[in-house]
Amino acid sequence: MIKVLLVDDHELIRTGVKGLLDKASDIEVAGEASNGEEAIDLVKKASPDVVLMDVSMPGMGGIEATRRVLRVKPDLKVIALTVLDEDPFPSRLHEVGAMGFLTKGCPADEMLLAIRAVYSGRHYIASDVAMKHTLTEWQGNSTNPFKALSSRETQVLLQILEGQKNQEISDILSLSPKTVSTYRQRIYEKLDIKNDVELTRLAYRHGILKDGENN
């Protein structure tokens, strides 16, 4: 039996995914978490085999949460689940240890396929994403300027796009405020922008933010 932990800040999505997984005879939902902090705690308590990890959540976010749950349980298999199919997310999630990448619009049978694949030790990337990025290209070049950011810079970027200030980002990512400020300036320099307003516009332009979303 494959024990799966669901991590998403939207209860409706967790309910829908749980309903799907409950129909599979070889999969058991080991628990649900609404944020990264809860996920870390549940990994310790429930010891799941696979985690379906929402990328964009309040607080530390899915990238940092993936990094931390793998510290708790190194053999854990993480599948990132997101509304976004653009880089830098496949690359960054791969860098921190995720073995799978699914968009929330994927077919139900593909989610089951991905869970079984990563449980058996294989990487899995959604078919709609694979049309743009193969597994061997996860760390390749791209015209998307956000690909120039490091994994940690991407984590800081996501917090900035959520409207978090330096001290809040410091608390969430366990960095000093000075270090956060340095990362912020590096992000500006790499993306050739001057402030958060320009950053937000660039994020919309490249699909990091969607209309009606602020994360």
- pLDDT tens, the chain, 215 aa long: 999 999 999 999 999 999 999 999 999 999 999 999 999 999 999 999 999 999 888 788 888 899 999 999 999 999 998 876 555 566 677 788 999 988 887 888 889 989 998 999 888 877 656 555 544 444 444 567 887 888 788 878 878 887 889 998 888 788 899 999 999 999 999 999 999 999 988 888 776 665 545 44
Q: Are residues 200 and 158 in the same domain?
A: yes
pTM of the predicted protein model: 0.67
- Write down the H helix ranges in 120-150: 127-130
Q: Is residue 210 part of a domain?
A: no
Q: Which of 110, 137, 164 is the last residue of a domain?
A: 137
| CATH number for the domain harbouring residue 181 | 1.10.10.10
Q: Is residue 181 part of a domain?
A: yes
Sheet with 50-54: list strands edge to edge: 27-33, 2-7, 50-54, 77-82, 100-103, 124-125
pLDDT value of position 26: 96
Q: Which of 137, 169, 197 is the last residue of a domain?
A: 137
- Quote the DSSP letter at residue 103: E
Q: Is residue 123 part of a domain?
A: yes
Q: Are residues 93 and 16 in the same domain?
A: yes
Q: Which of 137, 161, 183 is the last residue of a domain?
A: 137
- SS3 string, 170-210, reads HHHHCCCHHHHHHHHHHHHHHHCCCCHHHHHHHHHHCCCCC
pLDDT value of position 139: 42
Q: Is residue 102 part of a domain?
A: yes
Instruction: Decide: 157 and 190 in contact? Cβ < 8 Å.
Output: no
CA distance 69 to 125: 20
| CATH number for the domain harbouring residue 16 | 3.40.50.2300
Instruction: Round to the nearest angstrom and report the end-to-end CA distance of the chain.
Output: 34
CA distance 196 to 205: 14
Q: Is residue 126 part of a domain?
A: yes
Instruction: Decide: 149 and 136 in contact? Cβ < 8 Å.
Output: no
CA distance 99 to 208: 21
pLDDT value of position 56: 81
Q: Are residues 112 and 183 in the same domain?
A: no
Show the domain range for 49: 2-137
- Number of domains composing the chain: 2
Q: Are residues 131 and 107 in the same domain?
A: yes
pLDDT value of position 9: 92
215 contacts: CB under 8 Å, gap ≥ 6? 56, 57, 58, 158, 161, 162, 209
Q: Are residues 118 and 43 in the same domain?
A: yes
